[in-house]
Structure 1
Amino acid sequence: MPYALPPLHCALKTMSRKKALLLLLLLVLSTLSLLIHQSTHLNWSPKPSSLGCPPAPSSRPKHTSVAFLKTHKTAGTTVQNILFRFAEQHNVTVALPHHACDHQFCYPRNFSARFVHPHTLPPRIIASHLRFQRQELRRLMPNDTLYVTILREPVAMFESLFTYYNQYCAAFKRVPNASMEAFLANPLAFYRPQEKFSMYAHNTLLYDLGGDNDHSPADPAYLPHFLRQMEEVFSLVMIAEYFDESLVLLRRLLAWDLEDVLYVKLNMRGPRSKGNISSEALAAHIRTWNALDAQLYDHFNATFWRKVAEAGRECVAEEARALRRARDQLLRRCFGGQPQLRPATQIKNKELRPWQPSSKVDIVGYDLPPAVPGSGAPPDERCLKLAMPEVQYSRYLLRKQSLRTRRRAMPHRPLPPRAVPRPVRPLPLRHPAMPKAA
């Protein structure tokens, strides 16, 4: 018997070691699983400010009634995508154009509530292209609606307009060799105010805002009066050149979370489709030809920085940095890092292929990886919506909201009355046969 104990002791010791290794392995796997799980549920909350900045007003409920005037070539598509995703996440109805208007509200006509698809009524958010018409929007939107728009520096904006709409705007098509320099040397030789898309060639910002883009800039009364009207309506005029700072002000205005304003840049041109402002003289010609837009931008750029100063410049800058960190984290989750811009022909998912205005302009977009790097999991739907172009997202929301409207409109069919059950006749009791008397 004494000789049997050492092998048994060794066996028990070996089993204990195996159990310890097994437990250690389980612990490692659990830790890895927890890390992967946490990576898919990111924490977007900004760190407490080291500058003593007050946090965004989280005590207020999120404001869900927003009218965004989407101006042309000003990063408006990216803002629209932010609003679309917020609306979908919070089950808020978005006003979308009627089929007859395509994906814009019958632009360049003055906006009318008749241009809104009936399946998207009553809305709380509107964010597609329209020409501003104050009374019609007030008739459509709730009384607590906050009005927001975005402007871009007129020189960069005009270069983008000239390239993007070269095959739509007759004034641009007339120019020999599509030369912006030739157009600006004598704009009136090519520009016809009565033509349908002439507004793309002259003071486009003012036109989008409902103003007279052909009004003489020499009139000292016109633009100041127009600016006062705009200040009465718009709670925030964002500036495209300071996009992140603009989103900080937007989220504070609406009491939204940082997560609600994360984005990727959409509707961008490829390198070969970008022009070059080759000289200060050319830039000066652009500002002179678009003098009303230039004054409009300068005014609201100054207004924007006053709002930043009121919020605290360093505080806004710090929150913008937090936004960029959260955005980078989101991009790692969706794309495995900074997403690569691709021509539409190289994007496999047709829901992510951006619309191309003409064969002479490349609008680039994104393709999602088949699986999130590091986790093996497919990208979730939020990543898809983050990169979805305007046309596809508008159609998707219209289908979704139309389905919801049809379900609500279905007549309530009462259930058929239950049949009254017949009373069950009790069966006669059968007593056991009595035994015969002996």
Structure 2
Amino acid sequence: MVKRVTVACLLISMTLLYCLSTLRINFSPPELPVPLSCAPQPGQHNTQSSTNGRQQDNNICVPKVDLMFMKTHKTGSSTFINILFRFGEKHKLKFAFPSSRNDFFYPSPFQHTYVQGFKSGMCFNVICNHMRFDASEVAKVMPRDTFYITILRDPAELFESSFHYFRHVVPLTWRIPGEDKMSEFLRDPKLYFSPNGINSFYLKNLLFFDFGQDNTLDPDDPRVEESIRLIGERFHSFILMEHFEESLILLKDTLCWEMDDILFFKLNSRKESTVSKMSPELRAKALQWNGVDWKLYKHFNLTLWEKVEAYGRERMAKDVAELRRRNAEMVEICIEGGHSVAAGNIHEDAMQPWQPIGEKSIMGYNLNKNIDKAYEQLCRKMLTQEIQYLTDLGANLWLTKLLGHVRNIINW
């Protein structure tokens, strides 16, 4: 009884803190134009010079550094954001971070005033934390020719992951009977779903919701096609989780990056035992229920493979093989045992991943002992989890950290 009361008090406190953190004072000083770019100029650092755009200067491809990454939920975005953090440090870029939390007051639509320390006329190179996208508000923060990137995932797999990860914060799932709650939900979703339910957006067309769209639309509604068209016009690159390596190779080529810039370890992966295996019938139900996301995914899956064809299938296969070889080398150099481990077996706090409420299902890594000094810093950065990396980069995450302590108490 004492434990239940304690947990209840902690949850109430978390809710109050969350509500207080989302209160915003509406004050609109005169707006100054967003600078074209604040990228470091040639000679300001010892890497290849950077400008805002994919340019050719004396036949040298100049890496693009003004970037907006729309970080969608449960899509492998934490793996890509680690790539962005390392790239940003390498080129001494200025990040637009949220204030007090690790997201821009999600699920509220993004506002430019949510940026930590924002003042009109400030210049940023990279914005990449979770938000509910609003193109006009992002444009008030980022340079005009910023390159927009996002990441998508097969909607059936995304639904399974989201249902598992967020079910403790979606009251609609609490009344679902039986052990296999996801299967029961998909048996008749309308029996359990309400668009007005707290955090119900996690249960239906989550990708579309993250893009700032109405996730309750019917897939055949003409507004869906129009929204997909607008998303395609705003975003320049769509990474697909299922084809992550091919997506990275295309991105590297477009942005004039180097192979070193896109090396990665898979972060935030779940224990295999916690992943629900979806039968063909259950998968079909999940895709039908998330029909708008499925339409979105199929559209940009098609455009990805059109780009692969233009890049060259043989050339792509060669580059993907090279990326895999380089990643395998880094695994051998950096990771103890060469594989991920359960949260309880992770030695360093910097490598502890953020866990869902009530459990510790997210895996992490341990750093190899006696790493060659030439690789020690890179290995550590590649293995540092998102919250810890954000802190290292100067983000003020006091509320997220407080909630993390509460989660740890609940998980005990």
Category of TM-score, reference length = shorter chain: 0.7 to 0.9
Q: Distance in 1 between matches of 2:102 and 2:301?
A: 29
Query: Identity of aligned pairs, percent?
Result: 35
Deviation, structure 1 residue 361: 4.6
Question: What amino acid does structure 2 have at the position aligned with 1:130?
Answer: M
> 1:233-248 alignment to 2 at 5 Å?
233-248=234-249
Instruction: Name the residue aligned to 1:340.
Output: 339
For 1:354, the aligned partner's letter is P
CA drift of 1:205 comes to 0.7
Q: Which residue does 2:388 correspond to in 1? A: 392
What's the offset of the Cα at 1:208? 0.8
1:182 aligned to 181, 184, 196, which one? 184
Shift of 1:171: 2.4
Choose 82-91 or 187-196, whichever is displaced more: 187-196
Shift of 1:58: 7.5
Structure 1 partner of 2:328: 328
1:421 maps to which residue? Answer: none
Q: Offset of 1:178 from its aligned partner?
A: 4.9
Task: Please give the per-residue CA displacement for 1:359-407, whole angstroms capped at 9, x wherever unaligned.
Answer: 33510101102312xxx6596222111011111111221259xxxxxxx
Moved more, 356-365 or 139-148: 356-365
Letter in 2 for 1:208: D
CA distances 1:127-146 after superposition (whole Å, capped 9, x unpaired): 11111100011111011200
Consecutive unaligned residues of structure 2, counting only runs of 5 or more, are 1-57, 397-412
User: Are the equivalent residues in 1 in contact too, given 2:152–2:240 (CA < 8 A)?
Assistant: yes
Amino acid at match of 1:125: V
Contact 1:163–1:361 (8 Å) recurs in 2:
no
Whether the 8 Å CA contact 1:69–1:127 is kept in 2: the answer is yes
* TM, length-normalised to structure 1: 0.74
SS class of match (1:175): coil
Give the equivalent residue in structure 2 for 1:148.
149
| 2:368 alignment partner AA | P
Matched, 1:308 2:308: yes
CA contact (8 A) 1:58 1:255 kept: no
Aligned residues: 337
The one-letter amino acid of 1:298's match is K
On the 8 A contact 1:370/1:379 being kept in 2, the answer is no
Please state whether the residue corresponding to 1:166 is helix, strand or coil. Answer: helix
TM-score between both structures, scaled by the size of structure 2? 0.78
- 2:340–2:365 contact (8 Å) kept in structure 1: yes
Deviations 1:49-79 (A, max 9, x none): xxxxxxxx98221100110101111111101
* Amino acid of the structure 2 residue aligned with 1:110: P
Letter in 1 for 2:263: L
Distance between the aligned counterparts of 2:207 and 2:59, measured in 1? Answer: 33
Rounded to whole Å, the distance in 2 between the matches of 1:238 and 1:126 is 17
Q: Paired residue for 2:114?
A: 115
Displaced runs of 4+ in structure 1, greater than 4 A? 376-379
Alignment of 1:424-435 (within 5 A): none
Range that drifts further, 163-172 or 135-144: 163-172
Q: Does 1:67 align with 2:68?
A: yes
* Unaligned segments of structure 1, at least 5 residues: 1-56, 401-438
1:221-370 counterparts in 2 under 5 A? Answer: 221-277=222-278, 279-335=279-335, 339-370=338-369
Aligned partner of residue 63 in structure 2, secondary structure = coil
Q: Which amino acid aligns with 2:231?
A: M
Q: Is the 8 A contact 1:71 1:205 kept in 2?
A: yes
Report SS of the residue matched to 2:61.
coil
Conserved in 2, the CA contact under 8 Å of 1:273 and 1:361?
Answer: no
CA deviations 1:19-60 (Å, max 9, x no partner) are xxxxxxxxxxxxxxxxxxxxxxxxxxxxxxxxxxxxxx9822
State the Cα distance separating 1:170 from its structure 2 match: 2.0
User: 2:304 aligns to what SS in structure 1?
Assistant: helix
Partner amino acid, structure 2, of 1:87: G
- AA partner of residue 267 (structure 1): N
Which is higher, the Rg of structure 1 or of structure 2? 1
